[in-house]
Amino acid sequence: PITLLHLATHTSGLPRHRGEVHPANWRNPEAGYSVEQLAAGLARFRLARAPGTQYQYSNVGMEILGYAIALKAGKDYETLVRDRICRPLGMESTFVSVPPELRPRMARGHAMPGRPVPDMDFSPLCASAGLRSTANDLLKFVSACAGLTPSPLEPLLEKPEAPHALKSGAKVPLAWQSDGNFFQHSGMTYGFTANVAFDRNRRRAVVMLANCNSSLGFIQGRLGRAISAGRSPEPARTVSLAPAMLNQYAGLYRTDGGATYTVRREGAGLMVRPLNEPGERFRDDGFGVFPQSASVLYNKLWDVDAVFSRAAGGAAPRMTVAWPKFTLEAVRVSNDIPPTPDPIQVDPSIYDSFAGRYRHMLFCGLVPVGPTLIIRREDDELGAHLMAYMRCKYIAALARNQDSNDLGGTDMTGLELFPDTKTAYGPAVTLANLRLEFALNKQGKTTGLTVEANGKTFTAKRVSAKPVAWK
């Protein structure tokens, strides 16, 4: 049996994702999802372990918990959240369904910089990701959780922080990720990332929101802990350097191993950022450093310093960057700094030339094997999109494996692809370990593609120019 406590502590044994959705639009996968679909997926799923024995984060569990609470209360989940949490805390801009008069305030989500995505619609199973809010509203929430502001909900807010013992002896709180003092939770959809955190002992609270599903999602947890501890990027003790002094360090630096870094002056400090290799889609955000002396600059948030020196005889400046457990040496190879590349723009008509069905072929291209990859062009209010679908009848069988991470049951998955070049495409940066390169003949006709995924490469032949319609 799975209890409400198992659901609330992520110890139910249910998977992280549903996996068995059949959306009408893969760019808005939650639209139209029903409780009946979830029930059908649960009926097929087999637990790998007894509930209450091990922590395993589960969006599915949160959806079921929210739905169960709503059923018991006789109200929908959004009404309960607004009546029991938002209104007592003065959170007037938090909704599942944003009223029409407030929709102009909504930020546009992006799969990656320069690539907007449509707003998502959420089903009645919205407890894992369906709330839309503002930084100000969330600050009211975490301020009450941290004890910074008095709240009529204080006795209730303390309950989720209390640890609950598992059968293994480990202790976990309700829903929050915590070490006992510091509590945080992050979230991500196709177009947004979010993180809230608080520390009752230090009486600090942090909210970070981004309208982009980007690398920010990977650093928010570290940022939240650092900021809650009172650490900021700029050290308390800095010296003022003239812009000309900082500008003399700017340029392109390269390590002995071939890694390249750009150094730019930004305000009173320098910004150090790794430079991507050609075709590399995931871009590190870099870090700023602030002067401690004429040649030493420091970042307190990441505990990293950059030391600049000029060798005798007028040799090029060198940069030493030191983290607590890692140091790199680089020499300046150019005073010119390449601009940050803008997202590649292509004529959407090229998507039509890629559309079709692709199969991996054996025996001189005579025998197709494996699933069919379907490439389609789809258009909506944001423009044209290149979509990839994989028809795979054995996904449902795989889902019955005890190590499955979703409920399974589908024979189709979808993914939007974004251009790196006119012929090379990949998904959003958080899934950057996948890349498709379309092959063209001398006449410019698409003949096949090469797929690179998780370090493996395989080729597929275009067996038809007509993608299969899927309903």
Instruction: Write the DSSP assignment of 14-62 as a string of letters.
Output: --SB------S-TTSTTTT--HHHHHHHHHH---SS-TTSS----HHHH
**Tens digit of pLDDT at every position of the chain (471 positions):** 899 999 999 999 998 887 655 566 667 777 778 888 888 888 888 898 899 999 999 999 999 999 999 999 999 999 999 999 999 999 999 999 999 999 999 999 988 777 888 888 887 889 988 999 999 999 999 999 988 899 999 888 888 888 888 887 888 889 888 877 888 888 888 889 898 988 888 888 889 898 987 655 556 666 766 776 777 767 777 788 899 989 999 999 999 988 899 999 998 899 998 886 555 555 566 888 999 999 999 988 778 899 998 766 667 789 999 988 889 999 999 998 877 667 778 899 999 999 999 988 775 656 667 778 889 998 888 889 998 887 554 333 333 333 445 665 444 567 888 888 899 998 876 555 678 999 999 998 999 999 887 678 888 999 999 887 655
Question: What is the separation of C-alpha 268 from the centre of its chain, rounded to a whole number of angstroms?
Answer: 31
Angle between helices 59-73 and 35-44 (to 10 degrees): 130
| Residue carrying structure tokens 């029903």 | 34
Residue 125 pLDDT: 87
Where helices occur in 82-168 by DSSP H, the ranges are 87-89, 135-145, 154-158
DSSP SS3 for 245: helix
Residue 395 pLDDT: 38
Task: Specify the long-range contacts of residues 31-34, CB closer than 8 Å, at least 24 apart.
Answer: 31/120, 31/121, 31/123, 32/121, 32/123, 33/123, 33/125, 34/123, 34/124
The whole-angstrom separation of Cα 452 and Cα 55 is 33
Residue 139 pLDDT: 95
The whole-angstrom separation of Cα 451 and Cα 459 is 6
